[in-house]
C-alpha cells in the first residue's frame, strides 16, 4: 500500500510478516505475557473511537420495534395496528437497505450515513407526533417506513475492520466475532431498555431515546474518518451479488427462520405453562449464549462453515426435547446451548461474504445478508405461529429444528474455509480519496 498525494494504491502483495500486522504485539512485550486477541484488536489506531459510536448507534436496533408496538398499542389500543405498522417497516427496510448500502459503498460512509440517519430519526419523531395527536393510521405507516433509511451500522463497522485488517486473517476473525457478540448484546438489552422506558417513563420514551442514541452514535462513528474504507469505483463485471454469494443467502434466510421460530415457539410454550411473564427472561438465555460464544469464538481458530452449521443443526433439537419434558430450567439451558451455536455460524458465514464479494460492494453484500436474515425471521415467526395453532407449542419447535437442518443442506455447496481471505484482484485498485486524517 502506498499513498501519493490524494491517490491511494492498493496492490496485491505476499503475506506480511507478523510485525507488520496492525494487531501484532509490540516487541517490548515479548518477554512478558502476550496480549490477548481482543486487546490486540483494539490496539489498532482509531478502532476504539468508531467502535464506541458503533455500539451507541447499534443499541436502538433492538429498541425501535418494541418501542413502536408499546407506543402504538398503548395510545391507539390496537396490537393489530401496532403489528401491521412494524411489519410494514420491516418490509420497507428489506427494499431500501440494500440501496442505502450501495450508496455507502459508492460515496463513502460519512457522506451517506449521516443524511440517511437524519431521515430515519425524522421518521421516528414523526411517528411520535402522529401517535400522540391521533393522526390517521396511514401516517403511522408512512412515518415508520421512513426509518427504513437507517444505515446498517453493523455492516459499516465490519467493513472498517475488513479494511484495517486486510492483511491479518486471524485478527479479522476476532473482529467479526466481536461484532456478532455486539449484535446479540444490543438485541438482548435493547428490548429490555425499550420496555422499561415505555412502561416506567411515558409511552413515547423508548422511540425518543432510541432516535437520540442512533443519531449520536452515528455522528461519533462517522467522525472517525481515518478508519473509513476508501471509496472505490463501481466494480465491472462479477455478476449480481445474489449470484456471487451463492448458497450463503439461503443459509442466512434459514438462520433467520431459526431465530423467528424459536422466539415464537418459546413464548407460546411458556404461555401455555402459565409463565408468559417469564418468556423474556428465558429467551435472554439464548441471546446470552450467542453473545458469550461469539466472544469466545474470537479467541480460537476459525472452524469450517460446515462444522459450525452441523453444530447448529444438532443444538436446535435441544429446545424441542426440553419443551417436551415440560421443564422450564431444562428449556433455559437448552436455549443457552442453542444460542451458543448461532454465533460461530454467523461469524464464519459473514467471513465468507467478505471473501466472495468485491471490495467496492462490501456494505451492499453484508446488507443483503442481513436482509435475508430479517426475511427469515418474518417467515419463521409466521410459520411457527401457524404451527402453534395447528399442532401445539411443543411441536412448533420442530420448525426451528427443520430450518437448522436446512442450513446444513444449504452449506454443503459452500467452501469449508472459515477465515477471511481477500482475493488478490480486489487489492489492485487505484482510487481517489481525501487526505488521511489523524486517527481518533
Average pLDDT of span 244-266: 88
Are the C-beta atoms of 163 and 229 separated by less than 8 Å? yes
More confident residue, 272 or 413: 272
Is the predicted pLDDT of residue 281 greater than 50, yes or no?
Answer: yes
Residue 266 backbone dihedrals phi, psi, to 5 degrees? -70, -40
Contact 24, 170 (CB under 8 A): no
Is there a contact between 149 and 96 (Cβ–Cβ < 8 Å)?
yes
pLDDT surpassing 90 at residue 149? yes
The yes-or-no verdict on residue 3 having pLDDT over 90 is no
The DSSP element (H or E) to which 350 belongs, if any, is helix 328-356
Q: What is the structure's pLDDT at 128?
A: 94
Q: Measuring CA to CA, how many Å separate 438 from each of 51, 224, 227, 248? A: 16, 9, 9, 37
pLDDT tens digit sequence for 235-246: 544 557 777 787
Check: CB of residue 363 under 8 Å from CB of residue 425. no
CA distances 436 to 5, 105, 107, 126, 383, Å, are 10, 18, 16, 38, 50
pTM of the model: 0.74
- pLDDT at position 265 is 87
CB burial of 308-337 (b: ≥16 within 10 Å; e: otherwise) equals bbbbbbbbbbbbbebbeeeebebbbbbbbb
Dihedral of the alpha carbons of 33, 37, 38, 42, in degrees to the nearest 10: 90
For residue 261, name the pLDDT band (cuts at 50, 70, 90): confident
Angle value at C-alpha 215, between 164 and 204, nearest 5 degrees: 140
Give CA–CA dist 101/358, Å, rounded: 14
Give the per-residue pLDDT at 34.
64
Poorest-pLDDT segment among 19-28, 251-260, 336-345: 19-28
Place of cell 420495534: 65
Cell numbers standing for residue 436: 488521511
C-beta separation of 363 from 155 below 8 A: yes
- Work out the pLDDT band at 234, boundaries 50, 70, 90: low
CA distance 403 to 257: 6
Give the Cα separation of 203 and 206 in Å (integer): 7
pLDDT band at 32 (very low <50, low <70, confident <90, very high): low
Grid coordinates belonging to 390: 395447528
How is 130-156 classified by DSSP, letter by letter? HHHHT--HHHHHHHHHHGGG---HHHH
Task: Read off the pLDDT band of 425 (50, 70, 90).
Answer: very low
**Mean predicted confidence (pLDDT) in 269-281:** 81
Q: Comparing C-alpha atoms, which of 165, 214, 208, 159 is closest to residue 186?
A: 214
Could you tell me which residue, 425 or 372, shows the higher pLDDT? 372
> How many Å apart are CA 320 and CA 157, to the nearest integer?
35
Distance (Å, whole) CA 283 – CA 120? 29
- Structure-model confidence comparison of residues 45 and 14, the more confident one: 45
Report the pLDDT averaged over residues 125-133: 93
Grid cell locating 90:
420491516
Give the integer Cα–Cα distance in Å for 63 and 315.
28
pLDDT in tens, 191-227: 778 878 888 888 899 999 999 999 999 999 999 988 8
Which tops the pLDDT comparison, 276 or 150? 150
Read off φ and ψ for residue 9, nearest 5 degrees: -110, 120
Domains in the chain with CATH codes: 1-11+46-231 (1.20.1250.20), 238-423 (1.20.1250.20)
d(CA 330, CA 68): 33
Mean pLDDT of the chain: 81
Higher per-residue confidence, 14 vs 85 = 85
pLDDT on residue 413: 77
How high is the pLDDT of residue 51?
93
| pLDDT on residue 56 | 95
pLDDT of residue 52: 94
Between 109 and 235, whose confidence is greater? 109
Amino acid at each position: 500500500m502506498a499513498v501519493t498525494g490524494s491517490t491511494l494504491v492498493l496492490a496485491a502483495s505476499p503475506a506480511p510478516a507478523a510485525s507488520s500486522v496492525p494487531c501484532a504485539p509490540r516487541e517490548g512485550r515479548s518477554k512478558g505475557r502476550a496480549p490477548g486477541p481482543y486487546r490486540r484488536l483494539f490496539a489498532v489506531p482509531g478502532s476504539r473511537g468508531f467502535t464506541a459510536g458503533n455500539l451507541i448507534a447499534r443499541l436502538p436496533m433492538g429498541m425501535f420495534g418494541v418501542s413502536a408496538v408499546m407506543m402504538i398499542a398503548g395510545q391507539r389500543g390496537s396490537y393489530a395496528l401496532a403489528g401491521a405498522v412494524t411489519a410494514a417497516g420491516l418490509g420497507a427496510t428489506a427494499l431500501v437497505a440494500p440501496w442505502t448500502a450501495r450508496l455507502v459503498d459508492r460515496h463513502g460512509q460519512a457522506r451517506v450515513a449521516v443524511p440517511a440517519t437524519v431521515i430515519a430519526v425524522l421518521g421516528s419523531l414523526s411517528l411520535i407526533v402522529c401517535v400522540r395527536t391521533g393522526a390517521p393510521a396511514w401516517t403511522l405507516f408512512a412515518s415508520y417506513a421512513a426509518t427504513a433509511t437507517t444505515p446498517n451500522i453493523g455492516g459499516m463497522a465490519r467493513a472498517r475492520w475488513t479494511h484495517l485488517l486486510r492483511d491479518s486473517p486471524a485478527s479479522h476473525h476476532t473482529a467479526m466475532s466481536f461484532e456478532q457478540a455486539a449484535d446479540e448484546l444490543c438485541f438482548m438489552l435493547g428490548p429490555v431498555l425499550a420496555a422499561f422506558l415505555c412502561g416506567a417513563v411515558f409511552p413515547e420514551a423508548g422511540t425518543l431515546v432510541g432516535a437520540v442514541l442512533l443519531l449520536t452514535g452515528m455522528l461519533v462513528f462517522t467522525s472517525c474518518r481515518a478508519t473509513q474504507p476508501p471509496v472505490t469505483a463501481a466494480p465491472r463485471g462479477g455478476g449480481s451479488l445474489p449470484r456471487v454469494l451463492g448458497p450463503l443467502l439461503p443459509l442466512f434466510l434459514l438462520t433467520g427462520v431459526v431465530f423467528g421460530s424459536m422466539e415464537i415457539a418459546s413464548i407460546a410454550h411458556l404461555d401455555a405453562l402459565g409463565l408468559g411473564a417469564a418468556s423474556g427472561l428465558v429467551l435472554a438465555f439464548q441471546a446470552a449464549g450467542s453473545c458469550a460464544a461469539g466472544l469466545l469464538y474470537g479467541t480460537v481458530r476459525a472452524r469450517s462453515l460446515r462444522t459450525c452449521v452441523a453444530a447448529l443443526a444438532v443444538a436446535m433439537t435441544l429446545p424441542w426435547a426440553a419443551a417436551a419434558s415440560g421443564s422450564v430450567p431444562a428449556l433455559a439451558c437448552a436455549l443457552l446451548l442453542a444460542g451458543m451455536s448461532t454465533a460461530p455460524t454467523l461469524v464464519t458465514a459473514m467471513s465468507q461474504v467478505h471473501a466472495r464479494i468485491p471490495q467496492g460492494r462490501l456494505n451492499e453484500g453484508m446488507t443483503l445478508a442481513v436482509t435475508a436474515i430479517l426475511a427469515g425471521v418474518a417467515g419463521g415467526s409466521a410459520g411457527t405461529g401457524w404451527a402453534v395453532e395447528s399442532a401445539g407449542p411443543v411441536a412448533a419447535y420442530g420448525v426451528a429444528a427443520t430450518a437448522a437442518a436446512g442450513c446444513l443442506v444449504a452449506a454443503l455447496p459452500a467452501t469449508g474455509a472459515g477465515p477471511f481471505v481477500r482475493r488478490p484482484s480486489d487489492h489492485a485498485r487505484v482510487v481517489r480519496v481525501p487526505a488521511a486524517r489523524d486517527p481518533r
